[in-house]
Structure 1
Amino acid sequence: MTAEDLWKRIRDSLEVTLSQGYFSMWIKPIQAISLHESPEKTLLTISSSSSYHLKMAEQRFSAQILEAGKQILPTLSDIRFSFEHVGQNNMLQKNLESDAPTREHGRPTEQSAPLFSSTESSYSSAIRRAGLREDYIFETFAVSTSNEMAHAAAIAVSQNPGKAYNPLFLYGGVGVGKTHLMQAVGHNILKKDPNASIAYITGEQFTNEIVAGIQQKKMIQLKSRLRNYSVLLVDDIQFIAGKEAVQEEFFHTFNAIAPLGGQIILTSDRAPQEIHPLEDRLKSRFEAGLIIDIQQPTFELRTAILLIKAKKLQLNLPMDCAQKIASVIESTRKLEGALAKLHSEHMLFKKPITLSLIEEIVGTSQSVSYSKQKVHPQDVIRAVAEQFHITTKSLKGPARSKELVRARHIAMFLLREESEITLQDIGEMFNGRDHTSVMHAVEKVKTQITQDEVMKTQVNAAISTISFASSTFQG
């Protein structure tokens, strides 16, 4: 039996036992390199064109691959995942190169996008330029049945931008991982080509740029910039509903990118057919790609998320404590807030991490769906004021000390993220500031929480306080 024969039979077996998305993403791209048989052991070596892909496949499926192989060849003792042999795999390399987008009006070419050739500095610069969070990568995304299809699709898009699913439309409630997956695609593309022209933008930012472009008579320059991205990531696309001029420009931007090999990824809190009012021609384009509904994280996934994030904080979180938090909180965002509060209690007051401390922080209620509860603006104001040990009057007032400005910016950010009020309404709450000042504060905090661990902890602790204040308020 040859290596190719054995691997083909293993693949056929796994195609039956794995989900279609996982098989297509992780198993199908792998090819056999060699089969070494000796009296002591039989070794099958397999490879892939991507070291990341191979590493993830090994971590996730090595046991299943070996088990399937032993069913076919009982003497098989081990599977070797070898990226060193990728140079021998000419067919994989040719396929990868033929799938790469061509450069046209700033789009990447095969020559300009060699695999894994970027330096750390150029990659870091590229993710800042694209507006991506440093921690929103595939390696930090926990997968379960509630999001496995979205995860597999995002991986596919990152490997074949403009080819796999275009557009990719992810929708679901708050904190289910839509933004994380969208930005992870951007990260993977930039790892291969730091010069790729990628932009992450929210639907609100897109709207504001169009309005500003019209007011300042700079639409020609704005159109040129928007339509020359090779990858456009638009978060909360539902924000453009009812805005005719914005929808018109997005339609033309879409048509300038997708048909020429560029990739578009959209997220929303609802499916395209539920966004009203939205032009039919936009709905038809959104529905022409792949639409995936990401469900609320399961209990097991929430537990895994907590353990992953605790490890990143170098916090030893016992399994029973993680499960207790996961049984009380459903929203991923609220999980992070609870974990931040736990981290603060442990580090600042040296409290041991026990079930008693967990109950002190999150209460004893079971299966509370915080993600579905309305957050009240005054809860946000009080939570931030408490976090910074200032009065709500000072927080909303005109004073501009460094600490007050920081607290005010965080409050504006949380009001925008956690409630449904407009930028104008937020401005009115803070001594009549205009909506552009609020938008600047929100964007500044979004950027800083990816770079400043202190601010990230402050934001998450405030979120945790807000969650439980809202829960108490609703009785």
Structure 2
Amino acid sequence: MLKEDFKSIWQLVIAKLKEKYSTTTVDLWFANAEPVEITESKLTISVDNEFKRLIITTRYADELKGCLRDVLGFEIELEVTTPKTSFERYEDIYGIPKEPKPVEKTAARQTEYTFENFVEGSSNKLAYAACFAVAGIAGDKTYDHINDIYNPLFIYGASGLGKTHLMYSIKNHVEKNFPYVSIIYTKGEEFMNQMVEAIQTKRTTEFREKYRKADLLIIDDIQFVANKPGIQEEVFHTFNYLYEDNKQIVFTSDKPPKDINPLVERLRTRFEQSMIADIQPPDIELRMAIIKQKAANMGIHVTNEVVTYMADRLKSNVRQVEGALKKIAALSFLSGGPITLETARAAISDLLTESEPQNVISDKIFSAVSTKYGVSVAELKGTSQAAKTVNARNVCIYLFRSLTDMSLEAIGKMINRKHSTVKYSLSKVEDMITKYPAFEEEINELISDIKD
């Protein structure tokens, strides 16, 4: 195909894109994009820098391929390239070659964190977009006007919601695409320990120079400096030095700047001048997406039923999900069978907190059974073998199994009984329900009362 032909095709594709996005958006990212090669299976386009390539491939690739399909009448792959690497562009811009700066050795676990495997949703959208932008512009001086918006960047949210994942995503992306950029990633506690050691060994000048030579400084868990005035003073001066030198600064915290206490006011002011983005606990749709991706990363298959069950109950953070999936995989391996709903129940029973469904109704179950059969809660949990107490205890066990998602082990802990005893009690009640309709009605009335 002649070059003029696929340029015409590209113009039609751009026109299609403008039907889906605003002209301003399309012009911003595609104005200088050029088709360089087209085959029966792939179109290759070239954009003028790595940041644009990253934006197009992660944000617009699906729509772009859809427009190509509409124009060509068949599916085709897309490749987005840049004419030069970021490292080569540095030489072009500044006129001098720059040796890649050494970076600290990164543990294998840390290199797994990327923007590609971060699950984006409404609860983390702004934080993700801000970190994504910082990673794209950190080593590209042609984007200094955008850098002003995102520098400094302050991300906050509860533990386990993805702050550290985003920080390592920035670090890993910059290391890969901008090898000349000097990066320091540290935690608030590590910063303090290094400073204390520097004071003890009389190497404070070395300590300060290390941090002030950074092109990109990331401090995770900055809330650790609260109530440490000496450390706050050092953070303040390091912040000022780097900010005035137009270096990128990123902080994370488990709370917003206004809630970090005690904190010297001038440092709080610096934090508050940041681009501030929060990460909220994920909604159920995002939790389901996270569970599916984590399971895929671990190489285990979970059904939609199991995913929904887990997402409905594991609400606190992503680490909890990872722990549950590891336990589910282990239980499945040991049993030699597939991952079932029962496997999931057994795996997550000890992870559920008082805010989870089964514990919300536990008091109602004990209260209803106690009232119905005239047996105290202490007796239900105690050692009495009186017929009335044993019968009430069996009903209690049956209701826990029916109305909660507790495993047999968890029910046993709740009522101070062994797994085998709980199992026997369940079979006893189930047998009575089958044989005696009046007893079945009694159980149904209890269930109805508890649910009301």
| Class of the TM-score when normalised by the shorter of the 2 chains | 0.5 to 0.7
Matched letter for residue 235 of structure 1: D
Higher gyration radius (CA)? 2
Q: CA deviation at 1:272?
A: 1.5
- Judge conservation of contact 1:237–1:268 (CA < 8 Å) in 2: yes
Structure of higher RCO (CA pairs closer than 8 Å, 6+ residues apart): 1
Q: Return the alpha-carbon distance in structure 2 between the equivalents of residues 96 and 242 of structure 1.
A: 44
Deviation digits for residues 78-118 of structure 1, max 9, x if unmatched? 6663335x32xx8x989975998x8xxxxxx973378xxxx
Q: TM-score, normalised by structure 1?
A: 0.61
Q: Return the alpha-carbon distance in structure 2 between the equivalents of residues 160 and 367 of structure 1.
A: 42
- Judge conservation of contact 2:181–2:215 (CA < 8 Å) in 1: yes
Q: CA deviation at 1:355?
A: 0.7
Q: CA deviation at 1:33?
A: 1.6
Please tell me whether residue 82 in structure 1 is matched to residue 79 in structure 2.
yes
Matched with 2:323 is: 337
The structure-2 alpha-carbon separation of the partners of 1:34 and 1:362, relative to structure 1 and needing over 3 Å to count, comes to same
- Judge conservation of contact 2:219–2:252 (CA < 8 Å) in 1: yes
Q: Return the alpha-carbon distance in structure 1 between the equivalents of residues 54 and 76 of structure 2.
A: 13
Q: Return the alpha-carbon distance in structure 1 between the equivalents of residues 17 and 267 of structure 2.
A: 39
Matched with 2:132 is: 155
Q: CA deviation at 1:48?
A: 3.3
- Judge conservation of contact 1:236–1:269 (CA < 8 Å) in 2: yes
- Judge conservation of contact 2:221–2:252 (CA < 8 Å) in 1: yes
Q: Return the alpha-carbon distance in structure 1 between the equivalents of residues 207 and 170 of structure 2.
A: 24
The structure-2 alpha-carbon separation of the partners of 1:248 and 1:189, relative to structure 1 and needing over 3 Å to count, comes to same
Q: CA deviation at 1:202?
A: 1.0
Q: Extract unaligned runs of 5+ from structure 1.
A: 103-108, 115-121, 374-467
The structure-2 alpha-carbon separation of the partners of 1:299 and 1:364, relative to structure 1 and needing over 3 Å to count, comes to farther
Q: Which secondary structure state, in structure 1, belongs to the residue aligned with residue 268 of structure 2?
A: helix
Q: CA deviation at 1:132?
A: 7.9
Q: CA deviation at 1:47?
A: 3.5
The structure-2 alpha-carbon separation of the partners of 1:66 and 1:197, relative to structure 1 and needing over 3 Å to count, comes to closer
Matched with 1:267 is: 252
Deviation digits for residues 364-398 of structure 1, max 9, x if unmatched? 9999768xx9xxxxxxxxxxxxxxxxxxxxxxxxx
Q: Return the alpha-carbon distance in structure 2 between the equivalents of residues 307 and 253 of structure 1.
A: 41
Q: TM-score, normalised by structure 2?
A: 0.63
Q: CA deviation at 1:179?
A: 0.7
Q: Return the alpha-carbon distance in structure 1 between the equivalents of residues 172 and 314 of structure 2.
A: 29
Please tell me whether residue 112 in structure 1 is matched to residue 98 in structure 2.
yes
Q: CA deviation at 1:304?
A: 1.9
- Judge conservation of contact 1:197–1:230 (CA < 8 Å) in 2: yes
Q: Extract unaligned runs of 5+ from structure 2.
A: 1-6, 360-409, 415-452
Matched with 1:301 is: 286
1:176-187 equivalent positions in 2, closer than 5 A = 176-187=161-172
The structure-2 alpha-carbon separation of the partners of 1:74 and 1:192, relative to structure 1 and needing over 3 Å to count, comes to closer
Matched with 1:244 is: 229
Q: Return the alpha-carbon distance in structure 2 between the equivalents of residues 67 and 361 of structure 1.
A: 42
Deviation digits for residues 46-96 of structure 1, max 9, x if unmatched? 4335679747745654442355678xx867766663335x32xx8x98997
Q: Return the alpha-carbon distance in structure 1 between the equivalents of residues 212 and 240 of structure 2.
A: 9
Matched with 1:205 is: 190
Matched with 2:47 is: 48
Q: CA deviation at 1:31?
A: 4.1
Q: Which secondary structure state, in structure 1, belongs to the residue aligned with residue 299 of structure 2?
A: coil
Matched with 1:432 is: none
Q: Return the alpha-carbon distance in structure 1 between the equivalents of residues 89 and 167 of structure 2.
A: 21
Matched with 1:166 is: 151
Q: Return the alpha-carbon distance in structure 1 between the equivalents of residues 268 and 320 of structure 2.
A: 32
Q: CA deviation at 1:292?
A: 0.5
- Judge conservation of contact 1:167–1:289 (CA < 8 Å) in 2: yes
- Judge conservation of contact 2:47–2:53 (CA < 8 Å) in 1: yes
Q: CA deviation at 1:287?
A: 2.8
The match for 2:200 among 215, 225, 233 is: 215
Q: Return the alpha-carbon distance in structure 1 between the equivalents of residues 117 and 305 of structure 2.
A: 22
Matched with 2:264 is: 279
Q: Return the alpha-carbon distance in structure 1 between the equivalents of residues 91 and 12 of structure 2.
A: 28
Q: CA deviation at 1:276?
A: 2.1
Matched with 2:64 is: 65
Matched letter for residue 205 of structure 1: E
The number of residues matched between the two structures is 346
Q: CA deviation at 1:361?
A: 1.6
Q: Return the alpha-carbon distance in structure 2 between the equivalents of residues 343 and 312 of structure 1.
A: 12
Matched with 1:139 is: 116
Q: CA deviation at 1:313?
A: 1.9
The structure-2 alpha-carbon separation of the partners of 1:262 and 1:212, relative to structure 1 and needing over 3 Å to count, comes to same
RMSD (Å) for aligned C-alpha atoms: 4.4
Q: CA deviation at 1:231?
A: 1.5
